[in-house]
A = this chain, B = another copy of it.
Amino acid sequence: MEYLNDMALFVEVVKARSFRRAAETLGMPNSTLSRRIGLLEKSIGLRLLHRTTRRIELTEAGQLYYERSKRIVEEARIAHEQLGEMVARPSGVLRVSLPVDFATTYLAPLLPEFAALYPGMTFDFDLTPRNVDLVAEPFDLAIRMAAPQTPNLIARVIARFTPRLYAAPGYLERNGEPHHPSELERHECLTMQNIGSWILHREAETVEVKVGSRFRGNSVAMIRRLATLEMGITAIPERVVVEELANGQLRRILPEWQLAPTSAYAVTETRLLPAKTQRFIEFLRERLREA
C-alpha cells in the first residue's frame, strides 16, 4: 500500500515520455525518479516500461497501468485542489457557537458587512450559554468570554472589553452618586453570576471592592435592563449601553475609574482552519480590537 506516490511519478514519466523531463517537472533529481520507478516495478513484479537511453516505451502491463493510473492521479489532484480552495476561498456554512449577548451587541452589527464581503458563505449561529464540544459537534468556531482551560483548544483574543460603571439617574437620585470606589460596597451592584468583586483602575491606582446585590444574571441584556429600571449600578462595556447613554436612561459614574479589561476569545479545535473560519476570526479581531 506504499506504491501510491510512485504511481503518480510513473504517470508523470509516461506523460513526459522521458525520465529527465519528468524529473524536471516534478522538481526532483532523476536519480530518485529512476530508482522509485524501478522499485515500483519490482514491487509489483512487472516491468512497466522498456527503456533505452533515448526513448521509453510502455510495456503491455505499463499501458494498462497507465490508463488506470492517470485517471486516479488526476482525481487525487482535483481532490487536493478542492481542499486548497477551502483554504483559499471562504465558502460554505460557518457554524458558530456564541453567547447571546455577544451576538446581539457586537456581532450582529458587523454581520451585514462580512456577509457582503463573502457572498459564498452562509451562517449558522447557535446562541447558547453552554460550552459546546467543538470536537464532537460540528462547530467551526466558538466565541467565549473567558479563555478555556481545556488544553488542545486554540483560543485567540478577538476583543478586549473595558467595563465602566453606569447607573440610571433615578437610582443615583435615590441612593446618591458614589465619588470613590470604596463607596460602592453600600450600593446595589448588578453583576454577572459568580462575580464577587470588582477590580477598579484609575491610572496606576487599583482598588478592589466587594460587590453584590439582590440580582444576578448570566445575561448582559438582563443586567442592563435592570440598570435602566433603576435597580443598581452596573459595570459594562460602553458599547453595550451606548443607546441608553444617548437617551439619558443611564449615566456614567466614577468616570475616571474602569474595570480590568476582559477578553472575548475565538476558540477552535485547531490552527489548521478553512478560509471561512480564518477570515471570520480575522474580521472580528480587526473590528473589535478595542470594543
Contacts and interface: CB of A to CB of B under 8 A. Distances in A.
Nearest to A9: B1
B274 A92 contact: no
A68 B79 contact: yes
A135 interface: yes
Contact of A46 (B8, B47, B274): B274
Given A52-B135, A68-B82, A269 B3 contact: no
Contacts of A254: none
Contacts of A138: 60
A168 interface: no
A140 interface: yes
A87 B41 CA distance: 12
A76 interface: yes
A176 interface: no
A64 interface: yes
Interface in A71-85: 71-73, 75-80, 82-84
A86 B4 CA distance: 19
B46 A76 contact: no
A84 B45 CA distance: 8
A50 B152 CA distance: 11
Contact of A272 (B42, B71, B76, B92): B42
B87 A272 contact: no
Interface residues of A, number: 50
Number of copies: 2
A60 B274 contact: yes
Contact of A68 (B55, B75, B140): B75
Nearest to A41: B272
Contact of A4 (B8, B45, B55, B68): B8
Contacts of A60: 92, 138, 140, 274
Interface string A162-191: 000000000000000000000000000000
Interface of A: 1-5, 7-8, 26, 41-42, 44-47, 50-52, 55, 57, 60-61, 64-65, 68-69, 71-73, 75-80, 82-84, 86-87, 92, 134-136, 138, 140, 269-270, 272-274
21 contacts: A3-B80, A4-B7, A4-B76, A7-B79, A44-B80, A45-B272, A46-B272, A46-B274, A47-B273, A50-B269, A50-B270, A55-B135, A55-B136, A60-B140, A60-B274, A61-B83, A61-B274, A65-B79, A68-B79, A72-B75, A72-B76
